[in-house]
Amino acid sequence: MTFLEYAPAPESTAILNLKPEYGLFIGNEFVAAEGESFSTISPATEKEIARVANASAADVDRAVAAARKAYDKTWSKLSGRDRGKYLFRIARLVQERARELAVAESLDNGKPIKESRDVDVPLVAAWFFYYAGWADKLDYAGLGGNPRSLGVAAQVIPWNFPLLMLAWKIAPALAAGNTVVLKPAETTPLTALLFAEIVQQADLPAGVVNIITGAGETGRALVNHPDVDKVAFTGSTEVGRQIARSTAGSGKKVTLELGGKAANIVFDDAPIDQAVEGIVNGIFFNQGHVCCAGSRLLVQENIHDDVVERLKNRLSTLRLGDPLDKNTDIGAINSAEQLQRIRELSDIGEAEGAERWTAECAIPENGFWFAPTIFDNVSTSSRIAREEIFGPVLSVLTFRTPAEAIAKANNTPYGLSAGIWSDKGSRILAVADKLRAGVIWANTFNRFDPASPFGGYKESGYGREGGRHGLAAYLKGAK
Amino acid sequence: MTIERAVSPAQRAIQVLGDDLTETTLKRYLEGIPGIDAVGLEQRAAGLGTRSIKTTSKAWALDRIIELIDLTTLEGADTPGKVRSLVAKALLPDPSDLSTPRVAAVCVYGDMVPYAVEALGAAHSAGTDEGVNVAAVATAFPSGRASLAVKLADTADAVAAGADEIDMVIDRGAFLSGRFGQVFDEIVAVKEACRRADGSYAHLKVILETGELNTYDNVRRASWLAILAGGDFIKTSTGKVAPAATLPVTLSMLEVVRDWHRLTGEKIGVKPAGGIRSSKDAIKYVVTVAETVGEEWLQPHLFRFGASSLLNDVLLQRQKMKSGHYSGADYVTID
């Protein structure tokens, strides 16, 4: 045995108290659904974790009706200060149950426990704390005095950050005085269902938060429901387009947070070791299942070889395996379907002539896994430089001048995020000014804060989440 | 000012910078090294600190930490008796468990070297790979504020008395005022003073006193400078200035050592010293070494802990792993 084969350090699942089957959470109660239930599995073992309900159109009706009733009768009439109290209570309960939520998230999603424990769950609590503070200060949200809530919000969230995306959606909606019906992704409903228990614990008025599980059909029924005033969606650009089409002319307010193909630009005067860390964090964080992932590395040509060599050395130290092991860096791919897509696009990359390099690591027998992979000498026209792979696959491109870096970075249908690495402050500001991306990180990557707005340009969607700007998605001016 | 040439330990500088080695070329080289982003470096160090080292890995790490310790006493009040006591502890760290490994070296002031050598007796490595080394701090430790002649005499004295390793301090004043050539020349000269009558050299550890250099960029430059001048080891601190060793500082020095190895194939040692008191902290350093430069660095000629109280905490943890319960401070010896 070598020291670097660290002995297993698994986080115990004993803290979980899961039910074998979960219903829909409507009006603060778990109720049975009309449709056939489906199972949610652990992507690391392919074993079933629990059965969850599949909400039909009638179930969606019930959930929206509960949300409407809660909006009309209680939530819209509460003072901002009282809404804030509930949100603070939720935030504290999230902190109290942090370990349990982290274990459930890693189990259901496949992400490493160190990420769910140190990133996802702390951010969830931070989001609720942040928007709890806004609830009684909406006069300062930038919409003039006495802004009004919208009503019932239909929220559909993805599987990459299940609980965090829930917090991004629910916290500002409730702070602004809306009630919500939220649908988690079909592969990752577990933490949303645990959150439903937290809603009960917090004694939120019945119907303010409703959580319904199901697949695409359920989501479609929800966003197209006539009694919904607001649609918030995070997910693929394809589904985002459908939602934009189907809600057009309906009067519903819509925010979409969609795909990305972020450029991570490394200049030759960058702090090189930290840049390598940032590249790793940019694309291999959460197995690359991050819409704002730095999936296109743009590195200045004169330092290309050095950076790529350092990157390969660093990737060789990443540990792939059991998401619940505290030393795991790369967990499981969330679903067989996603794994298939990553494999397909990687094969295309190879076929199109890019140079493929994969870190050597043992792949577990069961479950869905993809070893960290770099494609070098990728051309701008290659599909792996254009399309979102949403996996641990990095495309390396080079540039010669800042102008070329900016042009290549912007040459994408997306515009969610970008990164700049340079020791020269003036260069960072000048380049950031010309990048068309909603979030730009300088000498860091994939850092999130509830006070900072997040959202995209072009096909990455519209509207902003987080910060004061995030409130505007759930409010209208008093007129 | 020009840099002394032709002295053998400066071979490295000539190899990397070329024959026309001057202060200007040295300065340009050091200033051309990529900078360090402090936030990113600290984030990486914190990330390495979250590794969870359990069961067999922990047992291995605890034993290895003991084998990497320079057991140190550097007090004005040091006496031959205190040094003898320290040596006894170095040879038999835990009298209740004879399987406990010995430490790498004892580290004392120059005038205490003869007592340490005498106390070690047959257990003194004396140039071999077996046994415990004697390390001496020299060059007007800890401040380094003395003339070069005094520093060289200090060094030669300790080597003559039988020191296997010399822990020198760099002239931080000269470094901070940009006189890199002076710092370089001093290291080269001290390296020469480490030469024994038979032509072999005592190992030279170069203390950067990172707490006084203040920025990570300075630490990185000083690390390169010390290596180019011929240091066998780069060491964080004297232990007399706060902050002493920190994980990010040590990580940045390990990165230099890794890059030097990539460049030349030569392996340089690293010694964090001061402020590492618990096994938990020490394990973070072990992880950082293994994941930055590789596991082969976890041996006494490439990595050391400069510490005094760390040993007892490791012994307590060791006892706990064997017995399943914590004993207490009275179940390990003071020194």
For A59-77, write each residue's pLDDT tens digit. 999 999 999 999 999 999 9
Whether B56 maps to a domain, the answer reads yes
- The answer as to whether B6 is a domain residue is no
ipTM: 0.95
Kindly state which CATH superfamily the domain A21-258+460-476 is placed in: Aldehyde Dehydrogenase; Chain A, domain 1 (3.40.605.10)
Pick the CATH number of A263-442 from 3.90.1150.10, 3.40.50.11750, 3.40.309.10, 3.40.470.10: 3.40.309.10
Rounded to whole angstroms, how far apart are CA atoms A51 and A187? 11
What residues of chain B score a pLDDT lower than 50? 1, 5-8
Q: What is the pTM of this model?
A: 0.96
pLDDT at position B3 is 56
Q: Which domain holds residue B299?
A: 11-331
Q: Which residues contact A340 (CB under 8 A, 6 or more apart)?
A: none
Q: What is the DSSP letter of A362?
A: P
- For chain A, the structural domain boundaries read 21-258+460-476, 263-442
Residue A343 has pLDDT above 60, yes or no: yes
Distant-in-sequence, close-in-space partners of A328: CB < 8 Å, separation ≥ 6: A112, A113, A114, A319, A320, A321, A322
HEC assignment per residue over chain B: CECCCCCHHHHHHHHHHCCCCEHHHHHHHHHCCCCCCHHHHHHHHHHHCCCCCCHHHHHHHHHHHHHCEEEECCCCCCCHHHHHHHHHHHHCCCCCCCCCCCCCEEEEEHHHHHHHHHHHHHHECCCCCCCEEEEEECCCCCCCCCCHHHHHHHHHHHHHCCCCEEEEECCHHHHHCCCHHHHHHHHHHHHHHCECCCCCECEEEEECCHHHHCCHHHHHHHHHHHHHCCCCEEECCCCCCCCCCCHHHHHHHHHHHHHHHHHHCCCCEEECECCCCCHHHHHHHHHHHHHHCCHHHCCCCCECEEECCHHHHHHHHHHHHHHCCCCCHHHCCCC
Share above pLDDT 70 across residues of chain B, in percent, rounded to a whole number: 97
Q: Which chain A residue lies closest to B48 (C-alpha atoms)?
A: A327
Residue of A nearest to B46 (CA): A118
Residue B248: the pLDDT is 98
Q: Between the CA of residue A143 and those of A139, A146, A472, B217, what are the distances in Å?
A: 7, 8, 8, 46
Is there a contact between A274 and B50 if contact means CB atoms under 8 Å apart?
A: no
| Whether the predicted pLDDT of A321 surpasses 60 | yes
* CA atoms of A161 and A143, how far apart (whole Å): 30
What is the predicted pLDDT for the residue at B5?
46
Angstrom distances, CA of residue A315 to CA of A270, A284, A369, A373: 19, 9, 16, 9
pLDDT at B19: 83
In angstroms, what is the C-alpha Rg of chain B?
A: 19
| pLDDT mean over A390-415 | 98
- What's the mean per-residue pLDDT of chain A? 97
Does the pLDDT at position A244 exceed 80? Answer: yes
Cα–Cα nearest to A288, from A185, A350, A371: A371
Instruction: Write down the H helix ranges in A144-298.
Output: 162-175, 190-201, 216-223, 237-247, 272-284
How would residue A35 be classed by pLDDT, with cut points 50, 70 and 90?
confident
A contact residues 286-345, partner B, Cβ 8 Å cutoff: 317, 326-327
Q: Which helix (H) or strand (E) holds A40?
A: strand A38-41
Query: What is the structure's pLDDT at B7?
Result: 40
Whether chain A has a CB inside 8 Å of the CB on B261: the answer is: no
Residue A251 has pLDDT above 60, yes or no: yes
Residue B2 has a pLDDT of: 52
pLDDT of A112 over the 80 cut:
yes
Q: List chain B residues with CB under 8 Å of A3.
A: 57, 60-61, 64, 286, 290, 295, 298
Give the residue-averaged pLDDT of A178-205.
98
Whether A12 contacts chain B with CB within 8 A: no
B contacts of A7 (beta carbons < 8 Å): 53-58
**Biggest CA pair distance of chain A:** 71
Contact A274/B36, CB-based, under 8 Å? yes
- Residue A257 falls in the annotated catalytic set: yes
Total domains, chain B: 1
Read off the pLDDT of residues A256-309 as tens digits, 9 standing for 90 and up.
Answer: 999 999 999 999 999 999 999 999 999 999 999 999 999 999 999 999 999 999
Do the chains contact at B34 and A3, CB–CB below 8 Å? no
